[in-house]
A and B are shown apart, each in its own frame.
Chain A
Amino acid sequence: MELNNIPKAFSLPLRLSLISSLVSGGKNFNNLKNITKASEGNISVQLSKLENWGYVKSLKSIKNKKMNTQYFITDHGLTQLEEYVELLENIIKSNNN
């Protein structure tokens, strides 16, 4: 990953928060809302974009007669996040040298 081709998935703090919060395991919409403190509409839009770009996947199930959607980070999403963190570390290192 280069500084001039950072994926759109990392261009907004909310997208970055959503991806980071899924690193430790799957979360449902309410969990993500509590973590990011963003509005439902905004989270919904960003999750759908991240899903289309292959960073996040969702699994629907029925829990207590209600539809429950659980979101997970994909292998691609995890690899991209690791590369992005590596890029950020390199920027900090090069600026400190």
Chain B
Amino acid sequence: MKNNNDKALEQISLIKNVIDETKIKWETLSNILFYYGIMNLIFYLIQYGSSFFSFHNQAFSITELILEKAAIIGLFIYYMYSYRKEKATANKYYIGILNLCGIILFAIPFIMSIISIYYILINSDNMIKAQSYSILINQEMTANIILFFFCAVICGLISQHHGITAISVIIMSIYLILSSVFKDSSLSYSLTNSASIDFPLYGIYYTIVTSVGYIVLGLTLRKQGRSVNGIK
């Protein structure tokens, strides 16, 4: 016959297992999206800033590229650290969501970078290289917006916050309209009397979505998670 101690241990274990099975640890997921948005925002500000102040040269581009890749690697290390820490205790649904998030934020952009490098390397003609590069940039932008859309839909579904899902559909639709119908519309900024720089509307929209969009998504998820898990 079981004594009270064994019964108590059994009951505690049952409660703990059920709570672990059902609880979603929103903190990591919301942090990754938030930091990803902040990282994008910083690099966009640097890029736009460099265009305004005309200090865009080859050395600057290389430094910026190295810093950007280092930031992505840093975020990936944070993701892997959180993933390994939570894998032992989190439930399979949450781990599945974390896996998807990793694929969307790191694996797909990595594969796309490899494809871009490959296309540029196989073309020896500079004209074709420039055209390929331009096409690839456009494809990468569309792919990143689609990835944001998927990320937002997943977050909307797991948090049962239907507003997120609805807004992500609107964001996606606006991007498709801007990049097709208003493809040539741009905002112009005069540097001197003879020189000016143009910022395509869809490009500006893209930078806002992939920076501010991820920041808002991360903050919304954090707020939602706190209310679901009973933290004020």
Contact = CB atoms under 8 A, between A and B. Distances in A.
Given A13-B14, A16-B14, A85-B15, A21 B22 contact: yes
A21 to B, nearest CB: 5
B8 A24 contact: no
A92 interface: yes
Contacts of B14: 13, 16-17, 20
Interface string A1-30: 001000000100100110011011101000
Interface string B144-173: 000000000000000000000000000000
Nearest to A31: B22
A23 B23 contact: yes
Contacts of A91: 4-5, 8
B128 interface: no
B12 A89 contact: yes
Contacts of A23: 19, 22-23, 230
Interface string B1-45: 001110011011011001101111000000000000000000000
Contacts of A96: 5
A92 B15 contact: no
B89 interface: no
A35 B12 CA distance: 17
Given A92-B8, A95-B8, 18 more contacts: A10-B11, A13-B14, A16-B11, A16-B14, A17-B14, A21-B18, A21-B22, A24-B19, A24-B23, A24-B229, A25-B22, A25-B229, A85-B12, A85-B15, A88-B8, A88-B12, A95-B5, A96-B5
Interface of B: 3-5, 8-9, 11-12, 14-15, 18-19, 21-24, 228-230
